[in-house]
Structure 1
């Protein structure tokens, strides 16, 4: 359906598309890989060695829940050390130029905001918040981290790899004895990171907001998502149904390629800064009258 050019050619075409503004960005894990957070399905993705936690397992299996919190306790430290990369900063730059009208991210790492973006809709939540499944009380992840440290003063396991959902690879024998804590507000309710686990649904109001942003957009730009799961792909399908152009920048094919007017296959930390440079050139060219001194 769309154009599949080389990185340089595709980026130039994309720059021309972006100069019209009204761009809604939909980002996935691929934009954070250069910050040290792997994705699930891209080059080096973690699904071949890691099964993400599901909501059903987390709520129904105390052993699995303890395993998750032990691994997430270590993963939180790695996530807080992760810094925004050139891709995140480029998206924020496009937003400051008035070209990006909205950002919807499937990521839970907060790196878009750390990179300078504003008004980001976090489709799957953010690891920095914790919610009680009993009373609904919300609290900062830092607070839980201090409590887990106090409850596990001798826990010194070393992770082997971090996963996109914020936990780490850790042998089961390293988890023995790890103590989980409950909600302080209701004296013991089950705590869960305020993110959408596999098998859990995104809040309906959040989804409606994202659909509205798609409907208002002139272009849907997908960054670093394989679009394998319907959570993100539905917005591409919605845009295509409405005749709104879709462009995709990702390493490797995606399940949205057939709906895209343009696809660019390349690392986002390289493609996006170049895109900003080309957009600025396009804007300058359109602003300066022909024959005028530059």
Structure 2
């Protein structure tokens, strides 16, 4: 299967990548859907919500402050660097990501669309005025008195994705000749419908089975970092496809 995936990527002229939480796990970013959970074992679906923002801001603020401070210790892993190199080589047209951590950009990718926003920027919930990270972490209020929040899509806002990012991702996937999905359970709507908008080849990298494997042309089970490094090892330094006829 690794050789098949390499052959598809190597012959692709319009490759689009869709990433989820599993793409960042190898860098040390917790996966909310893991059995152990994280941050005092609190279910994010009860904290990362509009209801919590409006009715339990102390908990909401503590949750996101912990995530932001933890993220300061995180750097992109070698798989992120592979995706950055593939973009520079002209392999990747666009990365659409469900992640809010900004690791693709830190690794050097430029053509990135954040479907669920970014935890690295902030605004007022009431008036929408931009805010600084320091003000949010300090628990300050907006000039209008409103509460500050990260620019992420909260649970309950799932259908209200950033339209520019969504439209760009959809258009790129519709025009793609291959879509590589990395580290997502394909359970979060509407982003989980994006892969099936392509007429090109579909590839999946994920640690666990998603139940949607039958819809893909090639599935690789394992960690994002390890498998991206293995795939990258099948290509030479000029960005040309190496011999993929081996078994």
Normalising by structure 2, we get a TM-score of 0.87
Structure 1's unaligned 5+ residue stretches are 1-9, 149-179, 287-294
- Work out whether 1:222 is the aligned partner of 2:181: yes
Mapped contact 1:40–1:47 kept (Cα < 8 A)? no
Contact 2:8–2:201 under 8 Å retained in 1:
no
CA deviation profile, 1:24-58 (whole Å, cap 9, x unmatched): 00001101111111212357555994321243313
1:60 matched residue in structure 2: 54
Cα distance between partner residues in 1 of 2:241 and 2:16: 23
Instruction: Measure how far apart 1:255 and its partner are.
Output: 4.2
Q: Structure 2: any 5+ residue segments left out of the alignment?
A: none
**Alignment RMSD:** 2.3
1:134 matched to which residue of 2?
A: 126
**Are the structure 2 counterparts of residues 55 and 40 from structure 1 closer, same or farther at C-alpha, using a change threshold of 3 Å?**
closer
CA distances 1:205-236 after superposition (whole Å, capped 9, x unpaired): 43222110111211110011111112321102
Aligned partner (choices 152, 156, 174) of residue 195 of structure 1: 152
SS at match of 1:81: coil
Q: CA deviation at 1:79?
A: 0.7
**Equivalence for 1:11:** 2
Paired positions, count = 237
Q: State the match for 1:289 in structure 2.
A: none
Residues 10 and 241, structure 2, Cα contact 8 Å, conserved in 1: no
Partner SS, residue 18 of structure 2: strand
- Equivalent residue in structure 1 for 2:240, among 274, 279, 283: 283
Structure 1 residues 225 and 284: CA distance shift in structure 2, 3 A: closer
Provide TM-score, normalisation by structure 1: 0.74
The residue number in structure 2 matching 1:114 is 106
Q: CA 1:59–1:47 in structure 2 vs 1: closer, same or farther (change >3 Å)?
A: closer
